[in-house]
Amino acid sequence: MSTIEFPNERKFDLIGLGRACIDLNANEINRPMEETLTFTKYVGGSPANITIAIARLGLKAGFIGRVANDQFGRFIRDYFKRDGIDTSHVVTDMSGSVTGLAFTEIKSPTDCSILMYRDNTADLRLELADIDEEYIRSSKALLISGTALAQSPSREAVFQAIHYARKHGVVVIYDIDFRNYTWKSKEEASIYCNLAAEKSDIIIGGREEFDILETTTGPIQKDDEATARRWFNHRAKLVVVKNGGEGSTAFAKSGETFKAGIFPAENVIKTFGAGDSFAGAFIYGLMQGWPINQCQQFGSASASIVVSKHNCSDAMPTAEEIHTFIAKRLGNISY
C-alpha cells in the first residue's frame, strides 16, 4: 500500500507549526545585494509557505506559532487570514521579540542567497502553553519543521505537539528544513532533528538535510535508499528525498520506490521556494489519495511555477493552475 491514510471527519486538513517570518526579495535582480536598493515584502518561512500552499490548493489549514508585536507580525496574521488560514492559535508575543527577516539576493537564476536575521525572533518563543491538544486533534495532519527545534522553548513545544498528534492519530509530516545559522552546531541539530524524525509518519528533506541527521549516528552514507530504510525502522511510512534539479525519490514502507524528474521552467528567476511549493502540492496529492508518483508530478509542476516568479508565498499556485500547467506540458492527465 503506497498511499497514506489520513483520519476522516476532522475540521482541518493540515495545521502548520513553527516559523512565520518576512521575506524581503530583491527587486534589482542580476546584481549583488551590495548594489540592491529596493526589496518587496512577502510572508516567508518554510512551514508558513507550505501551509499557504495547502490553503491556496483549496484545503482547510490552520497555523500554530508566535509572531512579534510589530507591523510585520500583524502583516503575517492578516496574510494568513486573507488566504483562509485559521489564526486562532497564532499568538502575539509580548516579550519584545522581533519578526525574523530574510533578505534575498538574486544574482542569477542559479546564484541566489539569503541573508537571515534570526536573533530574538518571535517564532522561537513558542511555548508549551501555546500547544492546544484539542486543536491538534481537530486536524488530519500536523506539519512540523526542523527550524522550530533549534531553541527552547519552541523545541519543547514541537515535541508536545507531536505527542498530541500521535495520541489522536494525526499524521505527522516532518519537513527537515535545516538552516545552519539557527543552530549552534550540526551535532546539536542532528540530535533534535533525529528525535523528531523518529516520531514522524512522513519525512521530507533534501539529500544534504538527511546527511545532517546522520551526523551523530554516522557514517554519512549519502544513500537515499539506506536513508529511507533507517526511518522505516521507526514510525515513517513515507520518506521523500529531494535532489534539486534531479527531481525527487519517494520511498514507501511497503517497499515501492518512485522517482520523478522536474518540469524545466520557461523563465527561472530564483531557486528558493521550490522545495516549499513541491512539499505543499505533494501533500495535497497525498490527501486526495493519489498514487505517490502523481503526487510527485504535481509537486514538481508547482515548484516550476514558483521558481519562475519573484516571490514564494504569493506565487503558490491553485490546483487549477497546476493542472493547467501539466496539461500544457504533457497533455490532459486524469488524476
How many beta carbons lie within 10 A of that of residue 37, not counting itself?
Answer: 8
Q: Which residues contact 23 (CB under 8 A, 6 or more apart)?
A: 41, 42, 43, 44, 102, 104, 311, 312, 313
Q: What is the pLDDT of residue 2?
A: 57
CA 4 vs. chain centroid, Å, equals 18
Q: What is residue 160's predicted lDDT score, i.e. its pLDDT?
A: 98
Q: Decide: 250 and 258 in contact? Cβ < 8 Å.
A: yes
Mean pLDDT by 10 residues, the chain (335 residues): 83 98 90 90 96 98 98 98 98 97 83 88 97 98 96 97 98 94 91 96 95 80 89 96 89 94 80 89 97 95 89 92 92 68
The pLDDT of residue 335 is 64
Residue 189 three-state SS:
helix
User: Omega before 153 cis (within 30°)?
Assistant: yes
Peptide bond into 219 cis (omega under 30): yes
pLDDT at 333: 67
**What CA–CA distance (Å, rounded) separates 225 from 102?**
34
C-alpha cell at 40: 518587496
Q: According to DSSP H, which parts of 40-92 are helical?
A: 46-56, 71-82
230: number of Cβ within 10 Å = 20
Residue 245: count other Cβ atoms within 10 Å of its Cβ: 10
Cα gap 334→316, rounded to integer Å: 22
How far apart (Å, rounded) are the C-alpha atoms in residues 249 and 218? Answer: 22
pLDDT for 37 equals 92
CA 160 – CA 131 distance, rounded (Å): 7
User: Tell me, what amino acid is at 34?
Assistant: E
CA atoms of 289 and 311, how far apart (whole Å): 29
Query: What are the strands of the beta sheet with 12-17, ordered from one edge?
Result: 86-93, 61-68, 12-17, 139-145, 171-175, 202-206, 238-242, 248-252, 257-260
Contact status, residue 66 vs residue 126, Cβ threshold 8 Å: yes
Query: Which pLDDT score is estimated for 1?
Result: 45
Domains present along the chain, CATH in parentheses:
12-20+46-97+122-330 (3.40.1190.20)
pLDDT of 334: 64
All cell numbers assigned to 202: 512522513
Q: What burial class does residue 266 get, using C-beta atoms within 10 Å of its C-beta: 0-12 exposed, 13-18 middle, 19+ buried?
A: exposed
Alpha carbon distance 127, 62 (integer Å): 17
Cβ(189)–Cβ(215) below 8 Å: yes
Please give the distance of CA 142 from its chain centroid, rounded to a whole number. Answer: 11
Q: End-to-end distance of the chain based on CA atoms, in angstroms?
A: 18
